[in-house]
């Protein structure tokens, strides 16, 4: 079915997918920043990908890009690889949850469909990754998650940690030390205006914790009740 895409192209599509969750069209500047390449390189690349047959991107000069259905499928394939690999590295090879990202990020471009299938089977066809994010299905359907960011909650609301960003090992170790792990229940105790800090009570933990937006904007939660 799918023609071969280079590692680089897969990275572009993945980044565009992730940025698309927030805004409909994605600017070349945003992509450049995430991929740490120059804006000029991005313009070049998105023009190429928009010109492919069939096109992977929809591109309008000075108005950013959006994934085509083709591009979306390719991005989800890579994301499925990544999330299956993270789980695999943890479950089978004993990697810690802050270690898996870098390894999965290289392997995701290289494994075959066969490898993907076998890993999925060994893991029992998991629906969620090691950091809580949904894993696209074999047929590349992304289950829609009913979540919001922790930063949007206010006192007296209760929730469950749904998922966290996986790409910063230091941040992940911080989350672990605070007990902010997917599946954990918590309640918002206090909200502090101006700095937008949140005070949380985590289930089965004595000590309450206070978190700034640089944390609460990176954690997705499921509302309870």
Partner DNA sequence: CAAATTATTTAGATTAGTCTAAAATAAAAT
Partner DNA sequence: ATTTTATTTTAGACTAATCTAAATAATTTG
- Write out the residues near its own copies by the rule CB under 8 A: 89, 92-95, 99, 102-103, 106-107, 109-112, 114-115, 118-119, 122
Q: Which residue has the tokens 């998991």?
A: 126
Q: How far is the CB of 220 from its own copies (least distance, A)?
A: 28
Question: Cα–Cα distance between 155 and 161 in angstroms, integer?
Answer: 16
Q: How far is the CB of 194 from DNA (least distance, A)?
A: 21
Site for DNA contains 29 (CB under 7 A): yes
Contact predicate 165/90, CB 8 Å = no
- Burial class of residue 128, CB neighbours in 10 A (0-12, 13-18, 19+): middle
Binding mask 40-79 for DNA (x = CB under 7 A): xxxxxxxxx----------x-xxxx---------------
Helical axes 7-20 vs 69-91, angle rounded to 10°: 100
> Which C-beta is closer to DNA: that of 29 or that of 212?
29
Site size toward DNA (CB under 7 A) is 28
Question: Cα–Cα distance between 94 and 71 in angstroms, integer?
Answer: 33
Site for DNA contains 9 (CB under 7 A): yes
Q: Which does 224 bind (CB under 5 to 8 A by kind): DNA, its own copies, none?
A: none
Q: Which does 92 bind (CB under 5 to 8 A by kind): DNA, its own copies, none?
A: its own copies
Query: Which letter does DSSP use for residue 63 in this model?
Result: S
- The residue ranges of DSSP E strands in 11-113, in sequence order, are 57-59, 65-67
Choose, by CB under 7 A, the member of 38, 96, 127, 192 that binds DNA. 38
């Amino acid at each position: 079915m799918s023609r071969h895409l280079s590692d680089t192209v897969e990275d572009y599509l993945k980044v565009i997918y992730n940025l698309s969750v927030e805004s409909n069209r994605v600017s070349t500047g945003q992509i450049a920043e995430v991929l740490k390449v120059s804006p000029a390189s991005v313009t070049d690349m998105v023009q190429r990908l928009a010109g492919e047959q069939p096109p992977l991107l929809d591109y309008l000069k000075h108005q950013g890009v959006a994934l085509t259905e083709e591009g979306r499928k390719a991005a989800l394939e890579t994301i499925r690889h990544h999330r299956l690999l993270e789980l695999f590295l943890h479950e089978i090879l004993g990697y810690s949850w802050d270690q898996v990202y870098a390894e999965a990020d290289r392997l995701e471009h290289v494994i075959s469909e066969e490898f993907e299938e076998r890993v999925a089977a060994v893991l029992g066809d998991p629906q969620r990754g090691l950091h809580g994010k949904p894993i696209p299905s074999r047929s590349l359907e992304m289950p829609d998650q009913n979540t919001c960011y922790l930063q949007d909650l206010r006192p007296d609301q209760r929730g469950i940690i749904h998922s966290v960003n996986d790409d910063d090992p230091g941040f992940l170790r911080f989350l672990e030390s605070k007990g902010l792990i997917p599946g954990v229940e918590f309640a918002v105790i206090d909200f502090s205006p101006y700095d937008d800090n949140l005070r949380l009570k985590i289930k089965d933990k004595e000590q309450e914790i206070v978190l700034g937006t640089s944390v609460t904007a990176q954690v997705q939660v499921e509302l309870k009740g």
